[in-house]
Amino acid sequence: MAEARLRWLLPLGLSLAVLVPLGVLWQRSLIPGSLSVLDMGVPDFGTGTVFGASAHDHHGEAGTSVTDLVDAPNRPADVTVDLRADAAQLEIAGRPVQGFTVNGTSPGPTIRAQQGQLVEVRFTNGSVPGGATLHWHGVDVPNAMDGVAGVTQDAVDVGHSFTYRFVASRAGTYWYHSHQVSHRQVIGGLLGALVVSPAGDATPSETGDVVAIAHTYAGFRTINGQAGDLRVAAAPGDRVRVRVVNTDNATLPLWADQPVTLAALDGSEVNRPTPLTGVMVGVAAGGRADLLVDVPAAGAARVQLSKSTAVIVGADGVEPPPPSQPSSWLDLLSYGSPLATTLDPTRPDRSFSYRMTQQPGFVRGRPGVWWAINGQLYPQLPMFMVRQGELVAVHFDNQTTETHPMHLHGHHLLVLARNHQPASGSPWWTDSLDVLPGENYDVVFWATNPGLWMDHCHNLDHAKDGMITHLAYEGVTTPFRLGGDHLNEPE
């Protein structure tokens, strides 16, 4: 009798021993209909001072709301742009592709400003279902202007508008894109370029300046929305700056049929760059590379953006053949020349570990093997806590089988070392850093831009699967919610 009971109790007990913890894991992976980002993360103070509960007490009165973190609210704008986003059918390589436009095209218009100007963009959602926003990738905007749905604002519903204002304080190549359901909206083309030229135009040696947005629509590689090559008219002896923007999810390789110079990376000028031969430049997802192309006497230079598309700079009708693809990559760790800085990056106030692994479990209730950060799955991910003014070190360690282009909003990372080998070239400032499988990087940033900032993988399919964390400054709170009435979903 007792034995018979044991016969069914034992398996039942064993099943429960497996199912109950699984159920708990499943339950923990679900996202409530409305959630503050401050409740999502697990506070991580790294090696620095742990500060009071008030930093996390967003229900209290204390603290600064993200909405108060703005630039010069009374200063008149120098550059004013109206942008309207729509869901639209695009025509790519003669085929219809469902996507998005900004002012009727994808990519949208390139915004040009001078360093120091105040840029004001009136953004209207014409017809993007589920709402849209604009994020200024690589620009250290004030937090209220960061465009992250559910963190710094609500998604802009159809028929509604939001005005972005920021001072373009650094010259360089940047881009804008929606940060609502980005894995669909960015991939569908809700994006465009932003070019900030140096104050007083310090580049008289350049005779031309062109943007080349590399984007793949439904499997078709394009430059500036067109399948095929981009032709840039220029005369022999001209020097043209080609601003390559990689808006895809994977690394974009660049190479040319003659020496070209990598003048800037992610909006930061390289110190004393040398002409490149026989190597590829790898542009991380979200990253930008400014190439200086000198038009040869032969009439035209050819820069490959991957195997399938090219920028041809020179006389019309000259068609240089595709150069063969180099087998090695430019190592940015040793490119250009070091520059003495007044800021000492070697004594951080706080150090964080950002270890990426793959782990079985549940994300949003779905079983699978998911991206984990410091051993945790979305949404139990670290919330990196900092105080304003700190020098912050991050150790990225990619123990997964795929590349992760790491993007911290609102800040620039300075690379100190890769696999413990110190950087020896130009200061390497980046906002989109490819961390390859098995690689680790030591980077620092100065925490001088208070707010709640996403710190995520810019392979947007990885982000959608939970490869996102946040950086939170002490005392900053948000009135916005993930989910909620506006269905905010930044990934």
Of the candidates 215, 404, 456, 481, which one interacts with ligand C2O according to CB under 6 A? 456
Alpha carbons within 13 angstroms on the beta-carbon side of residue 72 total 14
Question: For residue 36, how many other CB atoms are within 10 A of its CB?
Answer: 19
Per partner kind, with CB cut-offs from 5 to 8 A, the member of ligand C2O, Cu ion, none near residue 264 is none
Per partner kind, with CB cut-offs from 5 to 8 A, the member of ligand C2O, Cu ion, none near residue 409 is ligand C2O
**Residue 106: which of 122, 123, 92, 120 has the closest Cα?**
92
**Residue 284: which of 251, 327, 256, 333 has the closest Cα?**
251
Length of the chain as a residue count? 491
- Binding to ligand C2O, residues 148-177 (CB under 6 A): 177
- Does position 454 interact with ligand C2O (CB under 6 A)? The reply is yes
- Binding to ligand C2O, residues 270-289 (CB under 6 A): 286
Which residues are near Cu ion by CB under 5 A? Answer: 404, 457, 459, 462, 467
Q: How many residues sit close enough to ligand C2O to count as binding (CB under 6 A)?
A: 10
Compare residues 221 and 462 and give the one whose CB is closer to Cu ion. Answer: 462
Three-class DSSP category at 329: strand
Q: Distance between CA 445 and CA 432 in Å, rounded?
A: 13
Which residue has its beta carbon closest to ligand C2O? Answer: 137
- Does position 179 interact with ligand C2O (CB under 6 A)? The reply is yes
**Which residues in 383-397 are b (16+ Cβ under 10 Å) and which e?**
bbbbbeebbbbbbbb
Of the candidates 458, 464, 470, 481, which one interacts with ligand C2O according to CB under 6 A? 458
Count of H-run helices and E-run strands, the chain: 4, 39
Interface region with ligand C2O, contact rule CB under 6 A, candidates 19-27, 78-86, 237-245, 452-460:
452-460
Compare residues 134 and 171 and give the one whose CB is closer to ligand C2O. Answer: 134
Per partner kind, with CB cut-offs from 5 to 8 A, the member of Cu ion, ligand C2O, none near residue 475 is none
Taking phi first (over 0 means left), then psi (-120 to 50 degrees means alpha), and beta for anything else, what does residue 39 get? alpha
Q: Are 481 and 204 in contact (CB under 8 A)?
A: no
Q: Are 110 and 211 in contact (CB under 8 A)?
A: yes
Compare residues 385 and 467 and give the one whose CB is closer to Cu ion. Answer: 467
Name the phi and psi angles at 464, rounded to 5.
Answer: -60, -35
Of the candidates 58, 407, 412, 418, which one interacts with ligand C2O according to CB under 6 A? 407
Closest CB 381 distance from Cu ion, rounded Å: 13
Compare residues 229 and 266 and give the one whose CB is closer to ligand C2O. Answer: 266
Q: Footprint of ligand C2O on this chain (CB under 6 A)?
A: 135, 137, 177, 179, 286, 407, 409, 454, 456, 458
